[in-house]
Amino acid sequence: MTSPHWHVPDEELRRYADGLLAPPLFWSTDAHLLGCADCRSRLASVADPEPVRAGWARLDGELDAPVPGPVERLLLRLGVADHTARLLAATRVLRRSWLAAVATTLVLTITLAHLAHPVVFLMVAPLLPLVGVAASYGPSADPTYEIALVAPLHSFRLLLLRSVAVLGATSVLSVLASLGLPDYGLRALGWFLPALALTLLSLALTPRLGPVLAAVAVGLGWVVLLAGTLPGHADNAVLFTRGGQVAMALACALTATLLHRLRPAFDVPRRIDRAPNTGAGRMS
Amino acid sequence: MTSTPTGVAAVRATDLSLRYGRTVALRQVSLTMHDGVTGLLGPNGAGKTTLLRILATALLPDDGELTVLGHDPRTAPGRLAVRRRLGYLPQSPGFHPNFTAFEFVDYVAILKELTHRRDRHEEVRRVLATVGLDAQRGKKIKALSGGMRQRVAVAAALVGDPELLILDEPTVGLDPEKRLRFRELIAGLGEGRAVLLSTHQTEDVLMLCRRVVVLDHGTVKFEGPPADLVALAHGRVWTGDVRAEGTLASWRTGTGRYRHIGDPPPGAELLDPTIEDGYLMLVDVTAEEGVPV
């Protein structure tokens, strides 16, 4: 027995449009909408039209042919293979906004180094690639993480590729920032080996802790190490002496070996934390 | 694409189990999949996504036997062999918004080891045409509608013409018209390959699937043809003018009358069951928000 003049109430249509209606009421409403032009028409009026309008407005301005973005163009000019350039172009940390944030942090740190002591710069600069690498891999940072995980290209290779790119980009900016400490000579580059060691250690801890927690743990460890090796005066910061730099080089070699041994652990994670569901696809 | 030989299962899983800490996500799940579309139904939290992730080699089971496309995904060579012949659309797929549809699919093609530029671009154009996005390939992802984005994600899954296609709720968030179009697309994809389709839409299963698996609380409640799922509710579905208490489920339908599953309420008339009724006989939908029982 049917009631041909029955229609879905407005409130239920609104909940249907907002995705809040649960089965089986959802199915019934769905089935009714397929056969009822009136209700479909009312559905359009109760649904929020703004996203649709905005989408059409953007559509008009887009070109049809794919044109590489600035990062990809730069990488291609530097001789990077086109498929590698495309993989790197998807790295969030290589976007201009991120690089601008790194540059700003370095400028502020150099200013502080001038006001306090040059060693401030050496202490802060190693943390920048650590943050960058943590923000370029994993389910929370990479919207295509799950697709990449089950692709034949090994996840470890993709992670290394991105990490090298992030380390390279932040290192170039940090070297430029080091020029702001002309009186400090080559010691102004003392951040590099700690940066490399911290990044490698963070990567080695990633399969167990995840990229963010690994970076936080390593960052805190760096602070503790600095506090323990920074006696009375900043001029005696042992990590940035010749002996300290040799120790850092050894740490790099050790962590690189550890990371190499752990590479199979990147192939299948223990679990995949569900990323926030925003309906028709996530963006990053 | 080379489909799996006739009679050889694309997926054969026996007693798969997985725990997240103290939570049991899957408990002794067994299923077999051949060519054609297989539907995976189940309420939220039933373990559908976990099962799909295991079959797609994104997670490893704690226990059980598993063969996908003839390989054991618990070994590294087995995983690589499966990944080279797999298409996977995760639930709520993510995109790099500054990419165009073409660039995004191109990116996934590179992940699938298609490094030769000209061949890769040809493949990208082919899969975008397959999903009907030929004209939109130069548009930015962020400018596409939800339905088009889903098609882009399906196109990415189709790169390399996979033998096994795993689609995790591809129609979520789409309006009825777009869902109908999507249904046509998936029906075409199921010809000559194995497709596992996770969905909340029982109608999708009825229209598309040769077989259906119902998962609830991490266990398989049903595996068989959709008609057998419908048959579970024979003689248990009723209609009346008022809501009934004490039935398995009772809700007002698109006709304005109430539909009841279970024992007959007073004055109710017997109805022919649908696939939804069979599904509701099996799962604990009362746990889902807003179900009027």
Q: Are B226 and B209 in contact (CB under 8 A)?
A: yes
Among B52, B88, B99, B111, the strongest candidate for a mutation testing the A interface, having the largest count of A CBs within 10 A, is B111
Domain boundary among A64, A82, A103: A64
User: What is this structure's pTM?
Assistant: 0.77
> Which residue of chain A comes nearest to B167, CA vs CA?
A147
Bridge partners (DSSP) of residue A105 are: none
- What confidence score (pLDDT) does residue B69 get? 95
Pairing type for strands B194-199 and B164-168 reads parallel
- Which residues are CB-contacts of B130 (< 8 A; sequence separation ≥ 6)? B155, B158
Among B169, B170, B166, smallest CA distance to B148 is for B170
A216-270 pLDDT, tens digit per residue, is 999 999 999 988 887 666 666 788 888 889 999 999 999 999 999 998 888 887 7
Residue of A nearest to B151 (CA): A280
Q: Which of A76-80, A114-118, A127-131, B58-62 has the lowest mean pLDDT?
A: A114-118
Residue A1 lies in a domain: no
What does pLDDT average to over chain B?
87
Domains detected in chain B: 8-85+162-222 (3.40.50.300), 95-157 (no CATH), 235-272 (no CATH)
| Residue B273 CB contacts under 8 Å (≥ 6 apart), including other chains | B230, B231, B232, B233, B234, B236, B237
The ipTM estimated for the assembled molecules is: 0.85
Q: Which residue has the higher pLDDT, A80 or B172?
A: A80
pLDDT value of position B293: 33
Looking at the domain assignment, is residue A234 inside a domain? yes
Same domain assignment for residues A251 and A115: yes
pLDDT at residue A274 greater than cutoff 60: no
- What average pLDDT does the segment A34-39 reach? 83
Task: For residue A213, name the pLDDT band (cuts at 50, 70, 90).
Answer: very high
Q: What is the CA radius of gyration of chain A?
A: 26
Shared-domain flag, residues A130 and A252? yes
pLDDT at B54: 96
Please check whether residues A26 and A162 belong to one and the same domain: no
How many other C-beta atoms are found inside a 10 Å radius of the C-beta of residue B1? Answer: 12
Domain extent for A247: 70-273
pLDDT of residue B45: 86
A119 and A79 within one domain = yes
Check B173 against A86: CB less than 8 A apart: no
Q: What is the pLDDT of residues A37-78, one digit of tens each?
A: 888 888 877 766 655 454 444 444 344 445 677 778 888 888
Q: Are residues A88 and A194 both part of a single domain?
A: yes
| Same domain assignment for residues A103 and A44 | no
Q: Are residues A60 and A15 in the same domain?
A: yes
More confident residue, B140 or A97: B140
Residues 6+ away with beta carbon under 8 Å from B228: B222
What's the mean pLDDT in A172-199?
88
pLDDT at A273: 66
Is the pLDDT score of A197 beyond 80?
Answer: yes
CA distance A165 to A157: 12
Domain end among A41, A64, A87 = A64
Claim to verify: residue A233 and residue A134 sit in the same structural domain: yes
Q: Quick one: A182 and A201 in the same domain? A: yes
Q: Which of B94, B100, B117 sits opposite A284 (nearest CB)?
A: B94
Cβ of B103 within 8 Å of Cβ of A64? The answer is no
Q: How far is the alpha carbon of A262 from chain B, nearest alpha carbon, in Å?
A: 14
Residue A234 confidence (pLDDT): 60
Does A1 contact B257 at a Cβ distance shorter than 8 Å? yes
Are A76 and A56 members of one domain? Answer: no
Query: A191 in a domain, yes or no?
Result: yes
Residue A17 lies in a domain: yes
Instruction: Report d(CA A243, CA B16) in Å as an integer.
Output: 54
A4 in a structural domain: no
Q: Is A278 among the domain residues?
A: no
- Give residue B138's pLDDT: 86
Which residue on chain B is closest to A145 by alpha carbon? B94
Using the 3D structure, point to which of A22, A37, A64 is the last residue of a domain: A64
A233 & A103 share domain: yes
Query: Residue ranges of chain B with pLDDT lower than 70?
Result: 1-7, 284-293
Q: How many domains does chain A have?
A: 2
Assess whether A49 and A93 both reside in one domain: no
Amino acid at B159: V
What percentage of chain A reaches a pLDDT higher than 90? Answer: 20
In this structure, the dihedral spanned by the alpha carbons of residues A233, A234, A239 and A241, taken in order and rounded to 10 degrees, is -90
Looking at the domain assignment, is residue A2 inside a domain?
A: no
Give the C-alpha separation, A27 to A242, whole Å.
71
In whole angstroms, what is the distance from residue B180 CA to residue A35 CA? 13
Establish if A5 belongs to a structural domain: no
Q: What is each CA distance from A179 to A76, A100, A267, B110, in whole angstroms?
A: 28, 18, 41, 39
Confidence at residue B229, expressed as pLDDT on a 0 to 100 scale = 93
